[in-house]
Every structure is written in C-alpha cells, then in structure tokens.
Amino acid sequence: MKLGMIGLGRMGANMVKRLSKGGHECVAYDVNQESVKALLQPGVTGASSLKELIEKLPKPAIVWLMVPAAFVDQSLASLEPLLSPGDIIIDGGNSYYHDDVRRGNELGARQIHYVDVGTSGGVAGFDRGYCLMIGGEAEIVRHLDPIFATLAPGNGSATPTIGRTAGSSTAEQGYLHCGPQGAGHFVKMIHNGIEYGIMGAYAEGLNILHNANIGKQEHEADAETTPLRNPEHYQYEFDLPEITELWRRGSVIGSWLLDLTAGALLSDPKLEKYAGRVSDSGEGRWTINAAIDEGVPAPILSAALYARFSSRGNAGFGDKVLSAMRHGFGGHVEKDAKPKGE
C-alpha cells in the first residue's frame, strides 16, 4: 500500500523505514526538511508541503499523523482542505480519546474516515515492531490491515498463551481493532497509566536497594531525626547492575522495562547523567480521570503520577508548608538536605 507519513520524529521515521522494508510505499513529510531528506530511499519519497504529499498519494489517500497530541488539530486544520471524501486519516500519536470522538464526527461529516491508533514500541520499534491499539470503523480498519500487519511485531514476538486457539485474533501479531473511534487511544491511555505504575515500582524498589548501606553511615543524634534502630541490618553494598541483570532471567518481574533499566545501570551505575526530573505526556492524567468517572479505585497508578509531579519540584511549596507547621507547633528546625542522588 502507499501512504503518507506526517511527523518524522523518534518514532515516525522508524515507522517509515519499517513500512518501506515491508514493501509499502511512503511519502514522508516533516516541518524539518532535513528529516525528510534523511529518509529518502527506494520506496520512500519526500514532500516539501502537505499539498505535495496529498498530490503524490493515490485515492483514497491514506495519511498517518505521527505528531505530538498538541499539534494534531493544527495539522488536521491544514490537511482537511486538501482531502476528498473517502480519504483516511490515521492518528498514531498519544491523543486524548475525547478528541478522537470529536475529530471522527467532524471529519465524518465530510465523509473522511478517521482512525486512532495507540502506538507502543518507542525508539526500538523498527526492529521489535509496534504494538498497535486501533479505534475506528471496522471496514476501514480491515482495509488498512496490511499496514498494521507490517508495523506490528508479528506472531513470533511472544509465545502463545496456553489455551488460546492459534490464529483466532490479530492480537497474536501485535495489533488489534479495539472498537469504534477513540477506543484505540483509550486502550493506549490505560496502557501508559499501567506503564507509569510499573516504572514507579522498579524505581522505588531499586532506590531501597541503593540505600541499603545506610547503617554504615554516620548519623547525628538529635530530636529532629528518628534514629536508625538497627544499623547492623543495613550494611549492604548492592551491585544494582548485577541485580537487575539477575532479575532479567527467570524472575516474575522480568520485562522490557527491566531490560532497559539493566542497560542504563550497566553504562552508568549511579545514573549521573540524569537529573531525575520525570515528565508526563498526559496519558497518566487521563487514566486517573477515567478511573474517577468510572468510580474505579486506582491508588497505585495515581501515586505513580503524583511521584512524577514531585520529581519536577512541584512539591516544593507544599513541603515548605509542612516545615512551617512543624516549626510552628514544635519549634522544629529544618535539617540540611543530603546531596542529590545520595
């Protein structure tokens, strides 16, 4: 099939390469034309404008947007006048599913089809493939199946689940039509909310291991700090690169996220190149919003999201309020902070 790809960032460019390798033709566009030039090869042509991109595509045109969620509406506003009835827009970024429902209705009024695809795979997707969570009209999703099948990891990426009938679903290949418009990004939203929780659990556990030598450190005896009751219980100097490497083998907490953690610790055991400021791109917040709307408890995912806020210094004023109250009722004086990372 032939399609246009708008947005050639960390994932979009590799998706073009994987599609081209799989026999599809791609017309690539990015506001940074150097990114376009870097992709040119047999099966991949470039476009210097959205108009040129649409002109190079057969009808009905298939256009995949791989841009940040904040720029999807802006991109659609520029694209829509160039589109014709029957054309298909795919949003493969991390849009809020509410926006998918709205966009689907707006484009549908012009008989333009809209498909939302939650895409997971990161920068390793070219080699590993992409897990695709798809929302949209069933007939259109079926039409796009060759594209999804090429981008997805394929049958050999995981062992079959015991009890499943082989070939019963495209989920076995790494892509799934989850429901109508918005369903793909809803599933991806929850996927990323879970990701926050898993990442947070690894980080907290490794931090406890990192500080298991606290019994070897000298501590001031004062009224402001609870003393370490049994320092002899905390005399360990754990080798975190070795422990994470160990956990990758046969452990129930093995995962690709653990693989990445082990690699990071191997190259930088103290993680000195990182400041510890963790961003969130929206999906965690939207997951918690959905949990509230549904009346479903999600304390672990909520805590993981709030930990990210704290990592960016957003707890600073609240911490000052706590310190002020302690000083007010008990005359407690703040202790000097330990150097960051220790």
List active site positions. Answer: 188, 195
DSSP letters for 121-135: -GGGHHHH--EEEEE
Q: Please give the Cα distance from 238 to 45 (Å, whole number).
A: 52
Return the biggest CA–CA distance within the chain. 77
Residue with tokens 């975190």: 240
Residues, the chain: 342
Residues 6+ apart with CB under 8 A from 143: 88
Burial of 13 (0-12, 13-18, 19+ CB in 10 A): buried
Pairing of strands 62-65, 2-6: parallel
Residue 177: name the closest of 139, 213, 150 by CA: 139
Pairing of strands 131-135, 113-120: antiparallel
- Helix residue ranges per DSSP H, 182-331: 183-210, 240-247, 256-267, 283-294, 299-311, 316-330
27, containing H or E segment:
strand 25-29
**Tokens encoding 271:** 């993680």
Q: Please give the Cα distance from 123 to 13 (Å, whole number).
A: 10
Q: Please give the Cα distance from 155 to 4 (Å, whole number).
A: 26
Q: Please give the Cα distance from 72 to 64 (Å, whole number).
A: 11
Residue 155 CB coordination number (10 Å): 12
Q: Are 211 and 205 in contact (CB under 8 A)?
A: no
DSSP letters for 150-167: HHS--GGGSPPPTTPPTT
